[in-house]
C-alpha cells in the first residue's frame, strides 16, 4: 500500500563555506502533486506540502467559491496514488450543480496562484466587500508577527516554506499552517478556521509572503477584514484591498509596519472596552 510523502526529506550536499569544501546534510521541505477531486471529477492539481490536506481542500474550495461553507463538503478522503495524493470530496447536491455550471481545470506550479485558468475573467473576478468593525492595536500586530516565527516548525527546520495564520485579537489566539506554496498556506488556514467555525470577520490573516491580487481575492471571499504580510504587496493587490474594504498591512516586522489601505482598523494605543 502506498504511503503519503513526508513533509521533510534530508539530502546531502557538497558545500563551500569560508573557502573550505565539506559535506553537509540539509533538511528540505517536500512537495507532492495534490489533486482536488469533486464527485470523481478532478477540478485542480498543484504541488503542495503533504500536510493538513483536509484543511487545504476545504480552504481551496471556499476561496475558489466552489462551496459556501465547510459543510457543503459531505465526504473527504485523501488517497495516495501513483502520481501523488488525490483529495476526493463529495459535494452537497446544490453545490454539485453550481460546480457543473462553472467547471474549469486549474493545473499550475506552486509559485503562481493563477496558473492554468481557462478564462481571464477568473483572474479579475468580483471581490466581495468586507464589512467588519474589528480593530487591532499596533503592538498586537508586532507581537503576532514575532509569535508567528516561533510557531513555524517546518520553516524552523528547513527555512524554505511559507506560513499563513489567523489571529483573533479578542482571544489572542493564533492558528497557523505552513506550505511550500503561499497560496496553499492561506487555503489551509481558511479551511482550518472554517472547520473550527470561527468568525473570519473577527480576526486577521497574517502571511509570511508577498501579497498578490489572488491572495486578496481569497481573503475577501473568506471574509477577513485585516491582512498582515511581512513582505510587500503588488499595486493591484493594494487597489483590490481598497475596493474590498480590507485593511492591508505589509512590510510587518517586530518593530513596525506599513498600512496601505483602510488604516481606521489599526489603533496606536489601547483598545477601549
C-beta separation of 54 from 61 below 8 A: no
DSSP secondary structure string for all residues of 110-165: TT-TTTT-S-HHHHT---PPP-----EEHHHHHHHHHHHHHH-HHHHHHS--EEEE
- pLDDT: which is higher, 135 or 97: 135
pLDDT band at 272; cut points 50, 70, 90: low
Q: At which residue does the C-alpha cell 461553507 appear?
A: 69
Q: Give yes or no for a contact between 174 and 38, defined as CB atoms under 8 angstroms apart.
A: no
Task: Identify the band that residue 10 occupies on the pLDDT scale cut at 50, 70 and 90.
Answer: very high
- Domain ranges in the chain are 32-123, 136-267
* Average pLDDT, integer, range 17-24: 95
Q: Which residues are catalytic, by number? A: 112
Q: Which of 155, 150, 127 is nearest to 7 (CA)?
A: 155
pLDDT (tens digit per residue) in 66-123? 999 999 999 999 999 999 999 999 999 999 988 887 664 444 444 444 444 455 566 6
Cell numbers for 27, please give them: 533538511
* CA gyration radius, the chain: 19
Percent of the chain with pLDDT over 70: 89
Mean pLDDT for all residues in the chain: 90
Strand partners of residue 168:
173
40 pLDDT above the threshold of 90? yes
- pLDDT score at 186: 98
Burial 146-159, CB ≥16 within 10 A → b, else e: ebbeeebebbebbe
Interval 129-141 mean pLDDT: 95
As a whole number, mean pLDDT of residues 34-48 equals 94
Q: How far apart are CA 214 and CA 117, in angstroms?
A: 12
pLDDT tens across 137-193, in order?
Answer: 999 999 999 999 999 999 999 999 999 999 998 888 999 999 999 999 999 999 999
Instruction: Please tell me the predicted confidence (pLDDT) of residue 116.
Output: 43
Helix (H) and strand (E) counts in the chain: 8, 15
Q: Tell me which of 2.30.30.100, 2.60.120.920, 3.40.140.10, 1.25.10.10 is the CATH number of domain 136-267.
A: 3.40.140.10
Three-class SS of residue 78? strand
Predicted pLDDT of residue 121? 60
Task: Provide the b/e sequence for 93-111 (b: ≥16 CB within 10 Å).
Answer: eebbebbeeeeeebebebe
Helix %, strand %, coil % of the chain (to 5): 35, 35, 35
What's the mean pLDDT in 213-237?
97
| CATH 3.40.50.1820 is held by the domain 32-123 | no
Percent of the chain with pLDDT over 90: 82
Question: What is the DSSP pairing of strand 266-267 with strand 256-259?
Answer: unpaired
Quick one: average pLDDT of 239-266? Answer: 96
Amino acid at each position: 500500500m502506498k504511503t503519503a510523502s513526508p513533509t521533510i526529506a534530508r539530502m546531502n550536499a557538497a558545500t563551500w563555506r569560508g573557502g573550505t569544501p565539506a559535506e553537509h546534510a540539509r533538511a528540505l521541505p517536500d512537495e507532492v502533486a495534490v489533486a482536488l477531486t469533486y464527485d470523481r471529477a478532478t477540478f485542480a492539481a498543484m504541488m503542495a506540502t503533504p500536510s493538513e490536506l483536509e484543511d487545504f481542500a476545504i480552504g481551496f474550495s471556499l476561496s475558489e467559491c466552489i462551496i459556501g461553507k465547510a459543510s457543503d463538503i459531505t465526504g473527504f478522503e485523501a488517497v495516495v496514488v501513483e502520481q501523488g495524493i488525490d483529495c476526493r470530496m463529495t459535494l452537497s447536491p446544490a453545490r454539485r450543480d453550481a460546480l457543473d455550471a462553472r467547471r474549469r481545470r486549474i493545473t499550475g506550479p506552486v509559485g503562481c496562484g493563477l496558473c492554468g485558468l481557462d478564462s481571464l475573467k477568473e483572474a479579475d473576478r468580483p471581490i466581495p466587500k468586507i464589512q467588519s468593525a474589528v480593530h487591532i492595536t499596533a503592538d498586537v500586530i508586532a507581537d503576532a508577527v514575532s509569535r508567528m516565527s516561533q510557531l513555524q516548525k517546518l520553516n524552523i527546520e528547513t527555512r524554505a516554506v511559507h506560513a499563513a495564520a489567523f489571529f483573533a485579537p479578542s482571544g489572542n489566539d493564533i492558528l497557523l499552517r505552513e506550505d511550500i506554496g503561499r497560496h496553499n498556506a492561506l487555503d489551509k488556514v481558511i479551511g482550518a478556521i472554517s472547520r473550527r467555525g470561527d468568525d473570519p470577520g473577527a480576526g486577521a490573516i497574517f502571511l509570511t509572503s508577498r501579497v498578490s491580487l489572488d491572495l486578496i481575492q481569497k481573503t475577501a471571499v473568506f471574509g477577513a477584514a485585516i491582512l498582515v504580510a511581512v513582505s510587500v504587496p503588488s499595486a493591484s493587490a493594494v487597489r483590490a484591498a481598497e475596493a474590498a474594504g480590507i485593511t492591508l498591512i505589509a512590510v510587518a516586522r517586530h518593530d513596525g509596519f506599513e498600512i496601505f489601505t483602510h488604516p481606521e482598523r489599526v489603533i496606536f494605543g489601547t483598545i477601549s472596552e
